[in-house]
Amino acid sequence: DSGVTQTPKHLITATGQRVTLRCSPRSGDLSVYWYQQSLDQGLQFLIHYYNGEERAKGNILERFSAQQFPDLHSELNLSSLELGDSALYFCASSVEGWGPIQYFGAGTRLSVL
Amino acid sequence: ELKVEQNPLFLSMQEGKNYTIYCNYSTTSDRLYWYRQDPGKSLESLFVLLSNGAVKQEGRLMASLDTKARLSTLHITAAVHDLSATYFCAVGNQGGKLIFGQGTELSVKP
């Protein structure tokens, strides 16, 4: 158990809908990262938050947004869902510093039908 | 744009044999990570390599980093079935993000 908690584990929804994925980082970690894993794109970085502020953005679609709250949990919002958004979404957390280990949660498997 | 390439992508090994997975990356970085992923599971951190020449070992796995060649290797010694998994290397980039390789699917057969 990495200490990173993601909910829900599975999500099935329809095209055009909006969903929210939730992540609680390890105790004491201020950084939260979101990644998408799919068969065709592999593991792709989406976004990084540190203590409530956005630090870095990857190839995140405009339909996707994220935030980190004062209690450090983070939410990834996916809207106007398309079939191609079906993937495994991972959250990771780390301490601050050079080369910290990112600890990954169990992931949320999103299926868009 | 930073690219990370692993080879081989698929590796079928016999128990007891040795093999090496290679990870090449395209731009300068001195933060290299190895992760393991079992089917349908999360990613488990194996090694973090933070300097040129760094070598780390854990059980039958040994990882090394050559920043000048932009190459990391993951060496498997006397493979056992429990090592069957997908192994990813990742390079640390600006803002803390990790750029992952495609993954190497390792299957160890008796």
pLDDT in tens, B57-105: 999 999 999 999 999 999 999 999 999 999 999 998 767 789 999 999 9
Chain A partners within 8 Å of B50 (Cβ): 98-99
Confirm if A30 and A17 have CB atoms less than 8 A apart: no
Nearest residue on chain A to B91, alpha-carbon basis: A99
Which of these, A49, A48, A41, lies nearest to A86 by C-alpha position? A41
- In Å, how far is A79's CA from the nearest CA of chain B? 23
Q: What is the pLDDT of residue A99?
A: 67
Chain A partners within 8 Å of B44 (Cβ): 2, 104
B96:A94 CB<8 A: yes
Average pLDDT over residues A89-113: 90
Measured between alpha carbons, how far is A110 from B69 in angstroms, rounded to an integer? 38
A56:B97 CB<8 A: yes
pLDDT band at A1; cut points 50, 70, 90: confident
3-state secondary structure chain B: CCCEEEECCEEEEECCCCEEEEEEECCCCCCEEEEEECCCCCEEEEEEECCCCCEEEECCEEEEEECCCCEEEEEECCCCHHHCEEEEEEEECHHHCEEECCCEEEEEEC
Arithmetic mean of pLDDT over chain B: 93
B97 lies within 8 A of chain A by CB: yes
pLDDT in tens, A41-87: 999 999 999 999 999 899 899 999 999 999 999 999 999 999 999 99
- In Å, how far is B102's CA from the nearest CA of chain A? 6
B41 lies within 8 A of chain A by CB: yes
